[in-house]
């Protein structure tokens, strides 16, 4: 399964990068092949200073070795080797009318001392972080997510949408990072749902990503914006940074496993502001966004 899924994310990385370059029309992805001393490596691709994307990355990796002490405690094992592979992407557009998007699809194996697989699971998801609220964009994103889920189980969308709202909650700010999407983890084989079925589900979600995001970019990329709106985007990006460095499991896992720091911090936006006690005017477009972030909503009828 690990070889099959890694082949899938290699192909998906190519598909996504090709499409994003075509949309941007100016910048191209810079590729960086790297190796992890403890085992494995990856292929990082970064796009910067484009017509549409100010900064973005679409990264794949496959790493293996002895589980670090910090993760042994987390998984409650004394000795174990692991294998983990996945695709992770973050796109920060220049225009504040276009939302930032994040997605990740991953596969994990744990082995005993004889190299036998003792645990295995899939995880992943995707979420949208707007700076200005266009409700039709949120509905579109969630509609595509639901369609992918519904191909595999009628309850998946509702369950994973709720988990996304819970996971991407910036607790110290008492607000969501964005308008949500999907989040699933520890998707393990059972009598009801085999590992192959989980693979089919995760790849269905991965294959639907461009459909969920590209139409939004196309709708918004030519919209005009002011310096004030750009300031607001940079202030909101600060909250994105806070979440990634304080709460995000993937970032923390990478740091604890001696991950490649450039790839781990690739998700951070290039220009960010922190202003003391900044609050938008009541009734403004900026405050409308905060109203939604304070109380996550259902964007489509289930």
Q: Looking at the annotation, which residues are catalytic?
A: 102
21 by Cβ neighbours in 10 Å (0-12 / 13-18 / 19+) ranks as: middle
Phi, psi of 190 (to 5 degrees): -135, 180
| H-assigned helices in the chain | 2-24, 69-75, 135-150, 156-167, 195-207, 209-220, 227-246, 249-256, 261-264, 285-294
Contact 128, 101 (CB under 8 A): yes
Contact 123, 187 (CB under 8 A): yes
Phi, psi of 191 (to 5 degrees): -65, -30
- Measured between alpha carbons, how far is 11 from 293 in angstroms, rounded to an integer? 34
Tokens of 158: 């509702």
Q: Within 13 Å of residue 56, how many CA atoms lie on the same side as its CB?
A: 27
Radius of gyration over every alpha carbon of the chain, rounded to an integer in angstroms? 19
Q: Which among 95, 56, 103 is positioned nearest to 210, based on CA atoms?
A: 103
Contact 78, 106 (CB under 8 A): no
Tokens of 225: 């914006």
Q: Which among 250, 103, 256, 105 is positioned nearest to 187, based on CA atoms?
A: 105
């Amino acid at each position: 399964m690990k070889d099959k899924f890694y082949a899938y994310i290699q192909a998906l990385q190519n598909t996504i990068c090709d499409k994003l370059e075509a949309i941007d029309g100016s910048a191209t992805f810079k590729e960086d092949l790297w190796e992890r001393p403890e085992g494995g490596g990856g292929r990082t691709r970064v796009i910067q200073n484009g017509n549409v994307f100010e900064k973005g990355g679409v990264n794949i990796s496959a790493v293996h070795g002895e589980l670090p002490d910090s993760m042994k405690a987390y998984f409650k094992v004394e000795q174990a080797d692991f294998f983990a592979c996945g695709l992770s992407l973050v796109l920060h557009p220049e225009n504040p009318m276009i939302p930032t998007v994040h997605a990740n699809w991953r596969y994990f194996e744990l082995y005993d001392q004889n190299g036998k697989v003792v645990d295995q699971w899939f995880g992943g998801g995707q979420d949208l972080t707007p700076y200005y609220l266009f409700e039709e964009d949120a509905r579109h994103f969630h509609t595509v997510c639901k369609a992918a889920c519904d191909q595999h189980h009628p309850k998946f969308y509702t369950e994973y949408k709720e988990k996304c709202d819970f996971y991407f909650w910036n607790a110290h700010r008492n607000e969501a990072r964005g308008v949500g999407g999907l989040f699933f983890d520890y998707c393990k084989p059972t009598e009801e749902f085999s590992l192959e079925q989980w693979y089919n589900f995760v790849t269905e979600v991965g294959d639907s990503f461009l459909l969920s995001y590209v139409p939004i970019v196309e709708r918004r990329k030519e919209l005009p914006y002011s310096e004030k709106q750009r300031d607001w985007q940079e202030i909101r990006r600060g909250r994105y940074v806070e979440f990634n460095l304080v709460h995000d499991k993937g970032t923390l896992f990478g740091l604890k496993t001696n991950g490649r720091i450039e790839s781990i911090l690739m998700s951070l936006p290039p220009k960010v502001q922190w202003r003391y006690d900044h609050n938008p005017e009541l009734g403004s477009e900026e405050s409308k966004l905060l109203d939604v972030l304070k109380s996550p909503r259902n964007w489509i009828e289930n």
